[in-house]
Amino acid sequence: MYNFLVLNKLYVEDGPQEKMTFIDSQKQPYVVLSILSPEWGLNGVQLPKELIFCKAHKTFLFHDVTERGDVNSLKPVTLPIVPISEVHAKEIIDFVFKWKDRVNQFIIHCEAGLSRSPAVALALSEILNGSETKFANFIETLYDINQHNISVKQKILTTYKEEYEKA
């Protein structure tokens, strides 16, 4: 089974990143998915270089857009608004599939750890771990998993069904 750890505020701007150092000290290989608003840029998260067990890190840039069209962001939002797209969903799925045979732990974070990252974790756990009745058991988060952004989760699951299951 694959485990998903949802974190918030991994992008500490000043000072050490104690969360990542602690995770690395567990001596289990893992990869990191950073889900950020485009304003952060692809270099919005720099992981400490001394992480031995982090096998890969990739940043995905799209806004936290609710079903009503509201945008949540810790930085001022610049136009245009970029919701998750099929391209983003494919990139996330492809990244995870590239690593799933080498790691069983995925660290996923966004700006607050409330919306996009748990949605991505739920979708990926459902894809990799199977049945809906048990996939959430493999997600650890600080917040209520039910606060996730349903649009993000659905885009990933729909893209997976349309692009990967048919093959």
Phi, psi of 23, deg, nearest 5:
-60, -45
Contact present, 125 and 135 (Cβ < 8 Å)? yes
Q: Could you say which architecture CATH assigns to the domain 3-163?
A: Alpha-Beta Complex (3.90)
pLDDT tens for the chain, 167 residues long, are 899 988 876 655 544 467 788 888 999 999 999 999 999 888 888 888 889 999 999 999 999 998 778 888 877 888 899 999 999 999 999 999 999 999 999 999 988 888 999 999 999 999 999 865 556 667 777 777 778 899 999 999 999 999 998 76
64 alpha-carbon distance from chain centroid: 12
Residue 6, CB-side half-sphere exposure with 13 Å CA sphere: 28
Distances (CA, A) of 114 to 53, 81, 160: 26, 19, 23
- Domain residue ranges of the chain, discontinuous segments joined by +: 3-163
